[in-house]
Structures are given as structure tokens and as C-alpha cells.
Homo-oligomer: A and B are copies of this chain.
């Protein structure tokens, strides 16, 4: 369904430069878009493609407008505006209403007439699917699960007993929510399993990426607040609480009983130890290991990055003796009589 630029501008609060009657029906990249497609410029890295774009229109900010060779939709937040336009042009598929004949639904489950259950899915006793909820092919809802309105389980998602999901969530294939947390009490001859009897409570507008795992609480619940976005292959331990609008990139692990605040951003492969408190508005760069609570908003890091291997190996070898090196420096300072340690300059 092609849309007029003028209509898009009105709907999303953009200033329009160019012909209001131009029609667009798909999105495209600045580099590859052609006629009928709308592109966007948000990352300066891709600005070099602006001058030569063949898109019918570009969403960008006012500062870049002068360089745009085609119709432009100006907005202070071009990426979010592009996202909204793309949602409109590419609304996504949804399952037909009702239960597929190959699905197994327990008699005690309650499925709204506008909800969907796909092929081969299993919906156990006590489950409730609110209006518009979509349970894709091959999903397993063991029992007593609540799926909020318009929440979509794409395919092959597993929800353990008692998991509760809010509205408009998207859960990607392979996700497991509500498996037992990792609780084993050491005893004289091995470990005793600690029953994991808590649940998982997930707010509205949460998205969880493929093959991520969110464990159930040991006693209370594991909780993801509204608007949390989680990428693929992320592990969230039991009793963890994640605050609203926090974003967690791929391959992150959060150990049990840790609380993460609101609006945090966790880079890929970040790991957080258990029983910590991370306050609101913390940014953790990729692969940071967090071993202590963080009480002050800001950016934290902790992972070395790539280096030609030969030179890395030399640095790593020195690192192993860094304490000795520091002691030798101190000894030398004493010998020479230096006491002022603050007058260094920046060059190595």
C-alpha cells in the first residue's frame, strides 16, 4: 500500500521538503534504495551514501537536509521516525485467529477468540491467552502461563509453569522462560538440588531474542520491567530484576539475584556477578565483567581489545608480573628520591 510523503509527514510530525505527492511503499538503505523506497540517515558512518541515493525520500535531521538530493522528511530523531514509517509500510505477518488443528490445548486453558495457536504448539492446563496473543508453531507452554494481549511468541518458545508475560511483547524462537534457576547446595557427597519455586514476571513491550534464557526465581520471581529489550543468547539468572527500558545486547549473562536499574545499556557479552545492585542509567561497554555493585550512573568498561597477537602476547606476559613491576618502580623512586607522582605527562 503506497503512502504519500505528505501523509507520512503529518502522521509522524516531520517537516517535508519536496513533492508531497511522492509515493513510497517500502523502506531501503541509502545505498541501495530505488524509486518507491524511503531511506534514512542516522549514523554519520553512512552519510557518504547520501549524495548518490536513488531513494524517493530520505528521513534525516535538519542538519543534513541541505545535502539530500531527493525529497526529505526532517525530524530531530530520524531513526525512530524511520522505525515508525517502516512499521507502517511493513506491518509483519500474523497467525490466523484460532487454534491450529495440530496443536494440543489443555481443556483447562483459556484462549481468547482473537488469539492464535500455531501448528504443533502445546498449551497446558491453566494457561490464558489474552486477545491478539500469538503462540507460534512448536511453542510449549507447560501450564499456568499468562500471555498478554498482542504478545507474540514467534515459534518454538518454551514457557515454564507460571510464567507471566505482559502486552505487546515479542519472544523469538528458541527462547526458554521459566526453566529452573541454578541452585545446588553443596553437601558432603555432592550437591542437593534447591527447588526453584518462584516464577517469571515480564512487563509490557518487552522483546527477547532467539535462544535467550530467563530462569524462574528460587522463591520469589525473576522480573523484567516494561520496555526491556534483550538480544539473542542472553542468560538471565534466577531472581534477577531488570528495570524499565534497559537494553541488553547479545551473549550477556546476568547471575542470580542481581538487580539492574532502568534505562541501562549492556553491551554484548557483558557478565554480571550475582547479588549485585546496578543503578539506573549505567552503560556497560562490551564484555565488561561486573563484580561489584554500581551506585553511580555512567559508563563502565573492562575488556581489552584486539592487538596483533605477537605484541599482545608480550603485553600479557608483562601483565602477569605487573605487581612486581610496580614494586620495582616504587623502589626506584625511593632510591632516586622522587616523591611527586603527579607531574607525569601523557606521552608514553
Contact = CB atoms under 8 A, between A and B. Distances in A.
A51 interface: no
A277 to B, nearest CB: 11
Interface of A: 27-29, 32, 42-43, 45, 77, 79-80, 82-84, 86-87, 90, 92-93, 100, 102, 104, 118-120, 122, 124, 136-138, 140, 142-143, 154-156, 158, 160-161, 170, 172-174, 176, 179-180, 182-187, 190-195, 197, 205, 207, 209-211, 213, 215, 219-220, 226-227, 229, 231-233, 235, 237, 244-245, 247, 249-251, 253, 255, 268-269, 271, 273, 275, 283-292, 294, 298-333, 335-336, 338, 340-348
Closest 5 CB pairs of A and B: A327-B344, A314-B323, A80-B185, A179-B210, A158-B173
A253 to B, nearest CB: 4
Given A170-B180, A193-B207, A302-B304, A336 B333 contact: no
A275 B45 contact: yes
Contact of A338 (B194, B302, B335): B335
Give the interface centre of A124, A220, A306, A310 by most chain B CB atoms within 10 Å.
A306
A259 B91 CA distance: 29
B305 A219 contact: no
A318 B158 CA distance: 46
A182 to B, nearest CB: 4
Contacts of A191: 227, 229, 245, 247
B331 A344 contact: yes
Given A93-B161, A302-B306, 18 more contacts: A82-B185, A83-B194, A120-B138, A156-B176, A172-B176, A179-B232, A182-B232, A215-B232, A233-B233, A289-B306, A292-B306, A301-B312, A315-B319, A315-B320, A315-B321, A315-B323, A327-B346, A331-B343
A292 B292 CA distance: 28
A129 to B, nearest CB: 17
Nearest to A106: B119
Given A77-B185, A172-B179, A197-B90, A332 B329 contact: yes
Given A179-B210, A268-B271, A319-B315, A142 B155 contact: yes
Contacts of A253: 233, 250-251, 268-269
Contact of A182 (B249, B285, B348): B249
B213 A213 contact: no
Contacts of A92: 195
A308 B307 CA distance: 22
Contact of A289 (B43, B287, B342): B287
Given A197-B90, A232-B215, A158 B155 contact: yes
Contacts of A215: 210, 232
B186 A80 contact: yes
